[in-house]
Amino acid sequence: MVGPSGRSSKGKKEIEIKLIENTNSRHVTFSKRRSGLFKKASELSTLCGAAVAVVAFSQAGRPFAFLSDPTADSLLRRRSSLVVTSCAGGEEVDAMRRAAEEAAARHAAEKARMSDAADKIVAAAAAAGSAMWWESAGVEALGEAELAVLDVALRRLKGDVCHRLSNAGGVASARRRRRGSSSLSLKLAFCMLHIT
């Protein structure tokens, strides 16, 4: 076979199907063939409207999956004849799924708690009529959880202010020399002392 450059090439060669001895080559081949397999499964699902699930396990035991439906459960529920428990390691998968669901529930609860605390802080500041939420956060009206959230928010604010001051240090010092005033930096330093 002669290529466009005039050199002869071997073209596509049929490889012998056997275990690849070199581990690096084996990993590369697994990765390439896995992506090709998943691509074919995606094409089958798209072109034919088929529900497809492909699971490939690496030699290390790591599972890689392609699902045409959002969840494997919805795919498996379509066929009542399939039994999920017949899979090797089904208990481990169920335990991992339960742990993931519990973690998601804890995350959602914590997110809701943080949102409620933030709403209370903003409401207390608005009731006090302050211009900025940190000027008067109404700490007397807050419980322990809300105070912890306020503490985190103030520390984050302090870090942001310090970061901006350190980044603008050269510009700010040049402006102060021109104006002859450093009252802004004194106010910020005073504010930072009281936050800590």
Q: How far is CA 96 from the centre of its chain?
A: 18
pTM score > 0.85 for this model?
no
pLDDT tens digit string along 150-164? 788 888 888 888 878
Compare 115 and 71 and report the one with higher pLDDT: 115
pLDDT score for 121: 72
What is the overall mean pLDDT for the chain? 73
Rounded alpha-carbon distances, angstroms, from residue 92 to 53, 87, 88: 19, 10, 9
Over residues 41-58, the mean pLDDT reads 87
pLDDT in the model for residue 88: 54
**130-144 exposure pattern, b = at least 16 Cβ within 10 A, e = fewer:** eeebeeebbeeebee
pLDDT at 90: 67
pLDDT confidence tier of residue 2, bands split at 50, 70 and 90: low
In angstroms, rounded to a whole number, what is the distance separating the alpha carbons of residues 82 and 14? 36
pLDDT in tens, 75-111: 666 665 544 445 556 677 788 888 888 988 998 888 8
Q: Please give the residue that has the higher pLDDT: either 34 or 51.
A: 34
What is the pLDDT at residue 113? 86
Looking at residue 180, its pLDDT comes to 46
Q: Which of 64, 69, 77, 34 is nearest to 49 (CA)?
A: 69
Indicate the fold that domain 23-78 takes in CATH: SRF-like (3.40.1810)
Give the other-Cβ count within 10 Å of 163's Cβ: 10
Task: Render pLDDT for 163-180 as a digit per residue (tens, 0 to 9).
Answer: 787 776 655 554 554 444
Rounded to 5 degrees, φ, ψ at 93 are -65, -45
Query: pLDDT-derived band of residue 39, with 50, 70 and 90 as boundaries?
Result: very high
Q: How far apart are CA 123 and CA 183, in angstroms?
A: 31
Confidence band, pLDDT 50/70/90 cuts, at residue 183: very low
Location of each CATH 3.40.1810.10 domain in the chain: 23-78
Tell me the pLDDT tens digit for each residue of 19-38.
889 999 999 999 999 999 99
pLDDT of residue 169: 62
> What angle, rounded to 10 degrees, do the helices at 183-195 and 144-167 form?
150
